[in-house]
Amino acid sequence: MIDLSKIGTEQQNENTMKIDQLNTLEMVRLINQEDQAVIDAVNNASESIANAVDATYEVISQGGRLVYIGAGTSGRIGVLDASEWLPTFGVGEESVVGIIAGGDHALRHPIESAEDNEQDVIDDLKAINFNKDDILCALASSGRTPYCIGGLKYANDLGAKTISLACVANSELANYADYPIEAVVGQEVVTGSTRMKSGSAQKMVLNIISTSVMIKSGKVYGNLMVDVKPTNKKLVERAKGIIMKASGCSYERAEELMELSQGQVKPSIVMEKLNIDFTTAEALLANNHGRIADALNTIKDR
């Protein structure tokens, strides 16, 4: 038997016990008021999140992958974050993978029993050749999902690094993770509906982890996403805008730089700021781990 009364996300919220009797505006304001706890919960977990960021960056910089696993809402949030790395940072499944219990069908169609099987996650991880050079991040609001615990055990047996993300204190999940994160959001607005405060907290934490890792990897210059892939009209214009903002050049010059750099933003910026050709800019970036600021400073220091 699972004693749900001991799980924070399953307890009844005294602040919302009469939410069904409120008018619409009162209801909206109360839900938003409860969501303020999400910000505090994530902030309180800052140190744990930073440790997870550093561990993930080390793995990815050495050619490994960050692999998210989860069931239900948690699994969907992991898959969502993983799928957004490519359009934002130009990084795909060579560096990040999202797995949901029950497979991709479970993204749209709930398969609630999938979370209870510790063996299924092993099969899922084997299917992507998860190994000791990767890092596993297991997401479970309740901190007790068997699918996630099974994944952490398997990763530990392989010698891979592990992260857990729960929304309760002293989670069972944390016992199996090298880098446990606990964003304790308190009781949900609707009792047990962890797609709400818990889901918001998980989304925020994954946003922080993925963005921070990519910043450390040189995918951001200032606060500009300089590895954006111009794969549609909007992104082509965004790429030109980034080049203009970063280098101070005109729109026409940004277009020219895009042609000279085969559509790449980072070398375009370096070309303009240092007045060098594409081949030289690419080599300079390669020698500085893709970081524009470091590449520019290399020239200044000479």
> What b-and-e string marks burial along 135-170, b requiring 16 or more CB atoms within 10 Å of the CB?
bbbbbbbbbbbbbbbbbbebbeeeebbbbbbbbbee
Q: Please give the sequence-ordered ranges of beta strands (E in DSSP) within 109-198, or none if there are none.
A: 135-139, 161-166, 179-182
- Count of residues in the chain: 302
Q: Active site includes 118?
A: no
Instruction: Give the tokens for residue 143.
Output: 């901190």
Residue tagged active-site, from 84, 93, 118, 255: 84
Q: Active site includes 84?
A: yes
Q: Contact, 38 vs 186, CB < 8 A?
A: no
Other beta carbons within 10 angstroms of residue 237's beta carbon come to: 13
**Which residues are bridge partners to 179 per DSSP?**
163
Instruction: Give the tokens for residue 195.
Output: 């797609």
Q: Tokens 């009844």 sit at which residue?
A: 12
Residue tagged active-site, from 10, 34, 115, 282: 115
> What b-and-e string marks burial along 254-282, b requiring 16 or more CB atoms within 10 Å of the CB?
bebbbebbebbbbbbbbbbbbebebeebb
Q: Tokens 């991880």 sit at which residue?
A: 125
Q: Which amino acid does the sequence have at 177?
A: A
User: Which positions are catalytic?
Assistant: 84, 115
